[in-house]
Chain A
């Protein structure tokens, strides 16, 4: 396949960015999207030019590091995949592909397509855990969990913290990410003890960090590579209301 790429280049957080056009040739449809960028980067290095910076690590859809906004969609045109799992067979020979970083005030660009997502860590630090310390805990089977609840908790816990939900949202809201963590613990007996403080602290942190409000457009769910359901947002809202009332 031969393709034209329109790629966002930005030298540093404060520098002004711009799109640049590149061509790549003879790309195999079995090649992954990031491998296609590797090939482009090799040609740039050949020409002693600076390669395109993008985040990636596991390249199998689990670390949440890759984060490209491709043709107007976070993680590109395929459903239920991260950028690193996207394959070139989803494109046609001769296509022009636009590649940008996530765009959100809370995720500033570091360089080119690389962004700073520390805001997510800060939200978790605000209370996205059960505060047990090491040792002195009961035997694992002394805390039975209804199987259905355990499955729902696992569905929510599958979030990889990539931030596509924020990138997809016109308000740049982090509701889906926060709701997934809140739900996971709200569904488990171990998590119920701190449930109220947790939801209040996490929501307050999210607001403080400049994420937008949720206006229920559900773009987040549509673009989430892990299929995190917006029903988690409803659950979180209930938790939040309860926490505020009592």
Chain B
């Protein structure tokens, strides 16, 4: 019944990737410069892919929205990157990283992909060190590690609280090197607005120059979309303001299946919302849970007094504090996976124990770590995060515990890809957060950076080559082909249509409204009735958007409102698909919690008999229902269990 072929290589799990690499087809050096590859996105996935493909000799064109590739959203990652190096000698291995990732993902990820990820993780660290990434070191000069949620070993490498920045600058350096050698050409302040398909294969893109407003046609023998996640469908999230789903959404509408859009990660440690003018939420890295303890008052009266500012956190005696994660999950304590920690915080706040003015906050307390290790050590470990917190909240976290609350952070769902990271459109690949591949229904901390770099440095360079080996006789195509012109005209029409609505409401108005619907009904706790409501509300919102949107200014030149409008138009449609996906998944797993499906203790209750599949949606046209395809997940190396962090 399904059109999905995940192309998992034969052989034992541990041998699949080696087998693949030994038998794949190659492109010989003189042919590489004749083959053009378009890479969209300069985050970890896109920059590392373009740098690697360029170095191999392919002719690469890379695109990003920002003025410089170095500013991609990956720059904001704080905590660290996992790798199965076992440097601390605490029992880590490729298998254990693989196992933790599958279990953390609540048994909804593809075994073969995850194993490969764990397998190449170690090379990523080697690569980054060779590039001069200044990872933290111990006094002997060797690399230091910390622990992250969902693991009982220390396998996270970090560069203070700026790991994403340092890794991205490493990849940006490699990319800059290839730009200098001429193998890669950079197109910044460009936004991909559509995909060009010629005879069933991806052959190019339509991009808008965000300075002149001009639409451009670009040819590529293959196209890689590495445009990041769709967390901003919730309006408020920890994602950067320009993070968006438009490239992924447009390829969906051209035939790439979109998988598991309901799998969204809500991160437990973010600075709580403080006002309706708020434009984004700030993450406090998960690494803080190494030394911070999460609690709320045991007594409702105390919580109420704190909310009314009659009491402060430090007034609450030790015995009157409920360290609810340590209480519920003694084995993992404050280091349970994110979905578990977020739900537990929400449960306490919903039950009336929340703190802060709104009651939608819990404490993250460093007092015992400061007593044990001294303020200096804590400052060295988390100084920049503490400073960031103080600048935003105007309170000193060395003296008062931080206040935190869950916020939308990461999207496990994304464009469906096979083992080669190829989408259901031939010649179109998808990497990084934009694809759905490795994290199942919940991602473990420090694994997104690992995945992005694995995709870009170590997977795509092989798999794209395998694909292009069949294309060596295909000459560069002219962008005057009707396929290019027709797609360009469709984009033009879409932009003109947006400009000509001339309604009364700004883009942000609609984006905020969408965000409210998504957070309320497609957020941390979902119900059938709520999801059905969300679908209705989003459809109404879409009508309102297309009849009452106002974009001042001109279609030519810089027009940031027009840019936002194209993105929000796509977010609205994606929001509906996420709700539909959540509706069909009659179980709770990872970040997807259906209130109807929980254990008596309130833990997520999976239904492996009926839902052990990847839900991949096929676009069927405007006003038609999308079709769900199921990729069955088979676990051969792992015994599937109910997750238990107790």
Q: Which residues of A contact B (CB under 8 A)?
A: 12, 28, 30-32, 34-35, 38-39, 42, 44-46, 48-51, 53, 55-65, 78, 80-81, 85, 87, 89, 110-111, 114, 116-118, 120-121, 124-135, 137-141, 143-147, 150, 153-154, 157-158, 160-161, 184-185, 188, 190-191
Contact = CB atoms under 8 A, between A and B. Distances in A.
Nearest to A143: B129
B160 interface: yes
Contacts, number: 214
23 contacts: A32-B279, A35-B277, A51-B561, A53-B558, A53-B560, A57-B73, A57-B241, A58-B71, A58-B240, A59-B279, A63-B71, A63-B240, A85-B392, A110-B558, A111-B557, A129-B173, A130-B132, A133-B52, A134-B457, A134-B461, A137-B130, A140-B129, A144-B141
B76 interface: yes
A186 to B, nearest CB: 10
Interface string B75-87: 1100000000101
Nearest to A42: B506
B165 to A, nearest CB: 6
Interface stretch (B174-182, B442-450, B603-611): B174-182
A137 B127 contact: yes
Interface string B181-218: 00000101000000000000000000000010000000
Contacts of A185: 132
Contacts of A154: 134, 136, 159-160, 166
A28 B275 contact: yes
A45 B510 CA distance: 14
A144 B144 CA distance: 11
A35 B461 CA distance: 41
A38 B279 contact: yes
- If over half of A's interface residues share one DSSP class (helix, strand or loop), that class is named, otherwise mixed; here it is loop
Nearest to B48: A134
Contacts of B457: 134-135
A44 B138 CA distance: 54
Closest 8 CB pairs of A and B: A129-B173, A144-B141, A137-B130, A133-B55, A134-B52, A154-B134, A140-B129, A63-B71
A236 B55 CA distance: 29
Contacts of A161: 68, 70-71
Given A50-B552, A57-B242, A134-B457, A62 B126 contact: no
B188 A118 contact: yes
B388 interface: yes
A35 B279 contact: yes
Given A65-B67, A124-B176, A60 B169 contact: no
B575 interface: no
A232 B435 CA distance: 40
Q: Which of B73, B280, B458 has the most CB of A within 10 A?
A: B280
Given A50-B552, A59-B240, A153-B134, A34 B279 contact: yes
B406 to A, nearest CB: 17
Given A121-B69, A144-B142, A146-B141, A188 B127 contact: no
B51 interface: yes
Interface string B347-365: 0000000000000000000
B277 A147 contact: no
Interface string B45-67: 00010011001000000000011
B129 A30 contact: no
A130 B177 CA distance: 8
A190 B130 contact: yes
Nearest to A13: B211
Given A57-B71, A134-B127, A190-B132, A110 B277 contact: no
B172 interface: yes
Q: Which of A34, A59, A157 has the most CB of B within 10 A?
A: A157
Nearest to B139: A147
Contact of A132 (B66, B130, B134, B506): B130
Contacts of B2: none
Contacts of A140: 85, 125-126, 128-129, 135, 143
A143 B135 CA distance: 12
B89 to A, nearest CB: 12
A186 B252 CA distance: 46
Nearest to B142: A141
B22 interface: no
B532 interface: no
A45 B506 contact: yes
Given A50-B553, A131-B177, A140-B126, A38 B131 contact: no
Contacts of A130: 130-132, 173
A134 B174 contact: yes
Contacts of B70: 64, 121, 161
